[in-house]
Structure 1
């Protein structure tokens, strides 16, 4: 109780959401994959948007805390490295493209560290497009795209600030140490054709002891410093802007003391990320426009391992193989497109994309560089007012891997009337081998892993369909129902296998076929001060042993194993009080999988399961002055920390099976929001 009392005393400042009319407008606008900004309803793609208002109402301190309630999105944690990966519609993180203002972000490998390394306070909205977007966005857009759109132009001076205090399970100490502590300061300015802005955020996560004792923690302490700045200039026909994002992140993994020699092994992971962007647009006529994006990213991750002697209180560097490492990744990226409106019925978009990826480090063989060149073209055909057809082709040349020469796609949208839409699409997707998969080299006492430079690209056939019907529209009452389905068939799936030259060495190989399928049903309701949404998704993942007769099987092995998900979002505004109450809920069903296990020295296929769980956040906000708003709430209401798991391996490089660590239990947060604008 003392901890909670201290928590509710120490909320400071946090920027308030934008005016409600602006937020409603932003919620309906998308740019991902579009020729120009347009509403979600008019988009040929099925797009989900998450507004900045909803991000703030959730009390999120990173993007993961925003997405964990979304249907079809699931996270997995690597407690050893302090990282979290994302899965979209049954496909893992390497198949999910993460964009910042349309520019792909660098990650070390399959894990999408970038999702937790973006300043959530600078986000205007998040757009999620399910299904392959390989024609427009290239490799890794196999499962879909998560595009994070940042705040840019403003017409006046705005100062924002935020501080939020949060418990980590039952652990908390005010302002520093145990718990989660986040502070932000931001500035935006606009004057005619000029605009600029900047911000700084500190997030201090004290870790979580969990079931461990002594110095070791189940969730490692993590400290982040994020800074950003933007400057731009432009008028009615053209605009250009430059943005810099910087990250300094440190994760500390302390070991327990060996009672035999009074020593411990401590590891430190330090990450620095610079993301430069220069983007511009020019519209000389109503029919013609140009867009360009140039980006350079520099990402380094340093692993330091020390041996601490508690008898002498000294530390020395570990001399074990792989104990010290400096991994460097950089990417130079350019995309240019032209949009030309031939007539009211035909629009054409040709484009070019160039990407150069480089890497080096003790766990990378040499200093490899991959050059990727692509030319793509798509068109938007509207032969009649109610039909929109968008075919596209992407031509690829890569300096290292064997890429599919042509990637096609076709998206269609039928508007039966103003309240009823049908979207159907087919796309050929592909995923390029990551640098880590091609050139990784890591040998120590417990690892023998080598990359495979002969890997081929993964590719897929994907079919998606969705039907949207606004069933009610009477006064302030709006009710919409949407039904969608998907099917993905993959070839050349990259997986871990044994080297043909030496079976004691693990390597990456193209062997597995994989499929995913499923359907989603969503309901949304808006009535006066109430907004609510309820959704259901059923995701099926291919069982690779279904047609395999090489192993004994303890149970029947169907072609697909299925996992259901249900979510609900409810928000009610008490307008006279200037307050809002929100409930965010998600049920993730049991996840079955078939795996090989040794039973009585015989390899057999058996069914393993990861338990189902319920997750919910309850939050509230209250305006206390024209400039200040108070936020408070409970996260992980059902107190989930680990899930029962019967698999021999939890599916991660550093897992050993057993319970799967998901969260650190129920937590409470409090913050104050500050926003001042000069009119």
Structure 2
């Protein structure tokens, strides 16, 4: 019913909009695309930025008809998306390190997850309707963004103003899930509406609602109503229903600007147990039941920000309150009457965070030297049911606090040479106090070459699981460790870029980059001994391993009239010592190659744009533990290469008010890839589930501006 109401409301708005008079978009939007804000003293052009900032525009996201952040990042170099069919989560990794080393922010505020802040974020829980652009910086960003910003940061910039008095945007999107689709029971069904009002020259407000209904992917399974005892009930990819609500109000006058925004997420993921329970019920035959689960996630997000001037000083202050929790509903599904019975709800994880950050700059009345003072306060009240002995769950409640202060300076040694240095001191409630430091250089040559280099030291604090987990089964014990210390990292990045414009409307942009990353005191599970008076081994998280990475990459972009094309290549080498207490892995470098490209062409006369995206992920190697001749050894495992190919056609109608986007994702039909390992004379292999194959989409959007 809700689905129908959304569709009818959207269609009524479309019909109404055809009779409205629309103002033409201003070209100032294009001018703003080159302005970046992440890790800068103040917004400035991309060329002037000290860091090499990668920008993903709203137009880039519209070409992909992306539903969430996972759809966007899947096509970019040095970013690997790790999806999970069982939990519904998708996380990001960079430089071979997982999502706990990469920080995701919204308007410079780290997003809360189930038990973390900014790290290990589920990308499918990031809605794109409110996003103006995305800025990505690779490398250590510990000075400006604190713990967990080891491999880089991603900052989502939301829309805070409009050129029009009213904006009403509605979207209907239908998408197949592999080869599965129907109007109600299969596929993906998305509806959204967003209303914005420029109240006057000072005030702006917006409100948006999005519904994303993923019906799951059956593959070789038979769905929730299947009751045969052959383990074919349920879904390969679990059904997920999400509701997003967001709102914002902004005020600006002269040099002062303030905004308040809120965001609410409600998500349900259904698990249908393939095991059928049969209970004899004479003389009526038998009753059938299944023990099912529903995972429920809610997130509240509040953010207030103020930017202005105090005498000659410039300030930027944010305060945020966020809470995310993940509950599990366990219930019995009765096939006879299709009812859910004996429902028991349990809170699995939650994090409630009070966060504030601020900066003060422009201390000197000249353009040669600038100084920035900043702070970050975090009060994180976390809860988790961690694994315990004999498949039990132990409730853990902890409060983590940190009080950070940082200082950064920018010195214009010459008109084209900028030096930026900074240091952060972090007072931790759980761990020893930490520090981070950085040095960045930017040199602009007269022939349009841009050279950037940065060196940084950062840190990562242990996770809830690493600190408090406790698992015991089949004679094995796996424990967390409250005595863990934060990991330390050092990175070095060098980037050379050249942009050339020709009179023939030809523009070329080429760059080459290289970087190095070293992580010390890396946390991993290791053998620490045997249980007293027993041969049962004990494994525990300890600070034991080391990790080194270097890479070299090159990207090239060409724009000629209505043609846009780009290509990139990155070669990554990773060396890590894995010591589980019984055996030590080889520390030689293992290499991986990635390549991506995209091509788009626009036909202005018919308001049509064609886009093609391709990404190749080369084979990956890693050492995994194995038993050979009753001894634990490390063997080289290889994950086969795979490629993604997406295509879309975007067409505008009725003075560019109505947009139709049709296309296909995963055209090469990638579902599973093979991971193999050779032990002695025997080679074993397993499948890694990456996707549900080729899918098709149709997106209809209407924009009413007046």
TM-score of the alignment, normalized to the shorter chain, above 0.5: yes
Q: Which residue of 2 aligns with 1:401?
A: 431
- Matches of 2:598 and 2:23 in 1, distance apart? 18
Alignment map for 1:45-64 (pairs within 5 Å): 45-64=51-70
TM-score normalised according to structure 1 size? 0.90
TM-score normalised according to structure 2 size? 0.87
Equivalent position to 2:699, from 671, 674, 679: 671
Distance 1:173 1:291, change over 3 A: same
Cα pair 1:365 1:439 within 8 Å, conserved: no
Distance 1:306 1:657, change over 3 A: farther
Q: Which residue of 1 aligns with 2:227?
A: none
Cα pair 1:365 1:440 within 8 Å, conserved: no
Alignment map for 1:4-15 (pairs within 5 Å): none
- Matches of 1:247 and 1:59 in 2, distance apart? 21
Give per-residue Cα distances to partners, 1:181-228, cap 9 Å, x unaligned: 111100111111111111000000011112334322111000000000
Larger Rg over CA atoms: 2
Equivalent position to 1:660, from 688, 691, 702: 688
- Matches of 1:20 and 1:569 in 2, distance apart? 27
Q: Which residue of 1 aligns with 2:208?
A: 199
- Matches of 2:240 and 2:299 in 1, distance apart? 16
Deviation at 1:324, TM superposition (A): 4.1
Q: Which residue of 2 aligns with 1:34?
A: 40
Q: Which moved more, 1:450-459 or 1:665-674?
A: 450-459
Q: Please tell me whether residue 245 in structure 1 is matched to residue 250 in structure 2.
A: no
- Matches of 1:365 and 1:455 in 2, distance apart? 20
Cα pair 1:84 1:112 within 8 Å, conserved: no
Distance 1:549 1:207, change over 3 A: closer
Distance 1:91 1:249, change over 3 A: same
Equivalent position to 1:295, from 320, 326, 341: 320
Equivalent position to 1:337, from 320, 338, 359: 359
Q: Which runs of 5+ in 1 are unaligned?
A: 1-10, 649-655
Q: Which residue of 2 aligns with 1:68?
A: 74
Q: Which residue of 2 aligns with 1:267?
A: 293
Deviation at 1:28, TM superposition (A): 1.4
- Matches of 2:49 and 2:631 in 1, distance apart? 54
- Matches of 2:570 and 2:529 in 1, distance apart? 41
Equivalent position to 1:223, from 238, 241, 253: 241
Q: Which moved more, 1:462-471 or 1:374-383?
A: 462-471
Distance 1:122 1:259, change over 3 A: same
Distance 1:220 1:199, change over 3 A: same
Alignment map for 1:110-189 (pairs within 5 Å): 112-155=120-163, 156-174=165-183, 176-189=184-197
Cα pair 1:73 1:88 within 8 Å, conserved: yes
SS of residue paired to 1:41: helix
Q: Which residue of 2 aligns with 1:346?
A: 369
- Matches of 2:474 and 2:631 in 1, distance apart? 26
- Matches of 1:147 and 1:90 in 2, distance apart? 20
- Matches of 2:291 and 2:121 in 1, distance apart? 25
Cα pair 2:104 2:110 within 8 Å, conserved: yes
Deviation at 1:640, TM superposition (A): 0.6
Distance 1:210 1:512, change over 3 A: same
Cα pair 1:105 1:114 within 8 Å, conserved: no
Distance 1:327 1:446, change over 3 A: farther
Q: Which moved more, 1:246-255 or 1:11-20?
A: 11-20
Cα pair 1:552 1:603 within 8 Å, conserved: no
Distance 1:604 1:434, change over 3 A: closer
Distance 1:188 1:500, change over 3 A: farther
Cα pair 1:177 1:204 within 8 Å, conserved: no
Alignment map for 1:491-640 (pairs within 5 Å): 491-498=520-527, 502=531, 504=537, 506-544=539-577, 551=583, 557=586, 559-626=588-655, 627-640=657-670
Q: Which residue of 1 aligns with 2:415?
A: 385
Alignment map for 1:320-331 (pairs within 5 Å): 324-331=346-353
Cα pair 1:357 1:370 within 8 Å, conserved: yes
Distance 1:549 1:448, change over 3 A: closer
SS of residue paired to 2:48: coil
Equivalent position to 2:517, from 453, 469, 488: 488
Q: Which residue of 2 aligns with 1:3?
A: none
Give per-residue Cα distances to partners, 1:228-254, cap 9 Å, x unaligned: 011121211211111000000000111
- Matches of 2:290 and 2:42 in 1, distance apart? 57
Distance 1:183 1:506, change over 3 A: farther
Deviation at 1:403, TM superposition (A): 3.8
Equivalent position to 1:369, from 391, 399, 415: 399
- Matches of 1:18 and 1:565 in 2, distance apart? 41
Q: Which residue of 2 aligns with 1:254?
A: 272
SS of residue paired to 1:474: coil
Q: Which moved more, 1:355-364 or 1:40-49?
A: 355-364
Q: Which residue of 1 aligns with 2:50?
A: 44
- Matches of 2:23 and 2:356 in 1, distance apart? 33
SS of residue paired to 2:196: strand
Cα pair 2:91 2:122 within 8 Å, conserved: no
Q: Which moved more, 1:121-130 or 1:109-118?
A: 109-118
Deviation at 1:309, TM superposition (A): 4.7
Distance 1:255 1:53, change over 3 A: same
- Matches of 2:507 and 2:89 in 1, distance apart? 40
- Matches of 1:526 and 1:446 in 2, distance apart? 62
Q: Which moved more, 1:443-452 or 1:176-185?
A: 443-452
Distance 1:499 1:240, change over 3 A: farther
- Matches of 1:219 and 1:18 in 2, distance apart? 43
Q: Please tell me whether residue 645 in structure 1 is matched to residue 653 in structure 2.
A: no
Deviation at 1:153, TM superposition (A): 1.5
Cα pair 1:201 1:227 within 8 Å, conserved: yes
Cα pair 1:18 1:53 within 8 Å, conserved: no
Q: Which runs of 5+ in 2 are unaligned?
A: 1-9, 223-231, 280-287, 387-393, 679-683
SS of residue paired to 1:57: helix
Distance 1:552 1:328, change over 3 A: closer
Cα pair 2:676 2:685 within 8 Å, conserved: yes
Deviation at 1:125, TM superposition (A): 0.3
- Matches of 2:289 and 2:685 in 1, distance apart? 27
- Matches of 2:581 and 2:542 in 1, distance apart? 21
